[in-house]
Amino acid sequence: MNKEKKQVIYLDRNESQYGPALACFEVLKVDNFKNLSEYSRDFSRGVKSALSERLANDFGVPEKNILLGYGGEDILKQAVHCYINKGDKIMIPSYSWWYYKKIADEKEGVKIEYPIVEGEDSFYYDIDGMLKIYEKEKPKLVLISSPNNPTGNRLEIDDLKMVLRKIKDAVVIIDEAYTLFYNKDNSHLKDMINEFPNVLIIRTFSKYYGLAGIRIGFVLMGDNHAEFSLFSARYLGYNRLSEQIAIAALDSSDYYDEMRDKMVADTEAYIKDFNQMEGFKAYKTYANFILVKIPVAIKDDLKKYLTERNMIVKFMAEDGLFNHLRITIGTQEQNRLLLNMIKSFLTKTITNELVH
């Protein structure tokens, strides 16, 4: 019997299929055990850590305006747990990462959804609708995701600033977990935290840098977040190895630029391929995943077919996105493999229908 186990391809959680830069692996050859056995002493230089210091330099902001966390997930949870108490209102995009609602529920916050709507070839934020709801509800916290998961759309920086000029009295979290795939320019970060003291901009090393396993995210904060800084402060520092790996990634921009260019070109081609298939519709994206609407009749059978072939994509099951797949952009080979599997499935289904 052939005991060789076929590798499962996971295209369901938007992890990088290219992996991190080579320099990140070099860090793992630890030649000084003190990096493992001792806490860092970065605080003696008046900073939280080597990584927060590096990020502050890269973005041209004071180090005190940066906090690290155990991934974007951790920072989102910390922020919501810090600011939301039972009965406080929290605005969340209608289609968004399920986790936002979960952390609001953990604190018994009152969730107010605001609209992301389907357009011709992409989803978009209904800015007027959002601002009307803000004025009416006066929430304590507003969550914005750009690019948004799972719809893939983003708010352009000018629109974002226009929105922030109107939302002065709430904490605003902007989740930019996926931003680097279509945006090389970080200059808005400094402007935004200078102009908007209420803002928290969350980023992660998990997606673009291919480092989901090291669990590092960070947040750039406007000046109104002394309470959150205290809430989040870690006296004994952070994971030194993870920090060094993250710094190695920041030093490897050539590798990531090349990956980005490849992925953007592949994504455009992929969307075209899906849109040529009858009954399928793929939406424009600014992230490393695409949302694809499929004929509802094939959903269960397609899921079974792909799973049996060790191909895992995300079959959405939420209101309004019930007939949709969210597919992580993989390598060219993986993208082709998935597309061919779906085509084979369709051919098989049509043939069966003709026979029976």
Ligand X SMILES: Cc1ncc(COP(=O)(O)O)c(C=O)c1O
47 touching ligand X, by CB under 6 A: no
Q: Which of 73, 151, 288, 335 binds ligand X (CB under 6 A)?
A: 73
Structure tokens at 300: 């269960």
- Tell me: does residue 212 bind ligand X (CB under 6 A): yes
Read off the tokens for 219.
Answer: 């947040």
Site residues for ligand X, window 149-188 (CB under 6 A)? 149, 175, 177
Q: Which residue is nearest to ligand X (CB)?
A: 71
- How far is residue 50's CA from residue 313's CA, in Å, rounded to a whole number? 37
Segment contacting ligand X (CB under 6 A): 70-78, 244-252, 293-301, 342-350? 70-78
Residue 60 burial by Cβ neighbours in a 10 Å radius (0-12, 13-18, 19+): exposed
One residue of 59, 97, 208, 305 binding ligand X per CB under 6 A = 97
71 is a site residue for ligand X (CB under 6 A): yes
Q: Min. distance of Cβ 74 from ligand X in angstroms? A: 6
93 makes contact with ligand X (CB under 6 A): no
Order of strands, sheet of 311-315, starting from the edge strand that comes earlier in the sequence: 9-11, 311-315, 324-328, 289-293, 281-282
Q: Can you list the pairs that 266-271 forms with residues at least 24 positions away whose Cβ atoms lie under 8 Å?
A: 266/329, 266/332, 266/335, 267/329, 270/329, 270/335, 270/339
Q: Is 145 in the site for ligand X (CB under 6 A)?
A: yes
- We find the least distance from the C-beta atom of residue 76 to ligand X, in angstroms, to be 6
According to the binding rule CB under 6 A, does residue 312 interact with ligand X?
A: no
Conformation bin of residue 80: beta by default, left when phi > 0, alpha when psi is -120 to 50: alpha
Residue 204 CB, shortest distance to ligand X, in Å, is 3
- Is residue 14 within the footprint of ligand X (CB under 6 A)? yes
The only residue of 94, 179, 198, 204 in contact with ligand X, by rule CB under 6 A? 204
- Distance of alpha carbon 312 from alpha carbon 303, whole angstroms: 8
- We find the least distance from the C-beta atom of residue 175 to ligand X, in angstroms, to be 5
Q: Which helix (H) or strand (E) holds 35?
A: helix 34-37
139 binds ligand X (CB under 6 A): no
Binding of ligand X at residue 49 (CB under 6 A)? no
Query: What are the respective helix, strand and coil percentages of the chain, to the nearest 5?
Result: 45, 15, 35
In the bound state with ligand X, the residue whose beta carbon lies nearer, of 70 and 231, is 70
Cα(175)–Cα(81) distance, integer angstroms: 16
The contact set with ligand X (CB under 6 A) reads 14, 71-73, 97, 145, 149, 175, 177, 204, 206, 212, 217
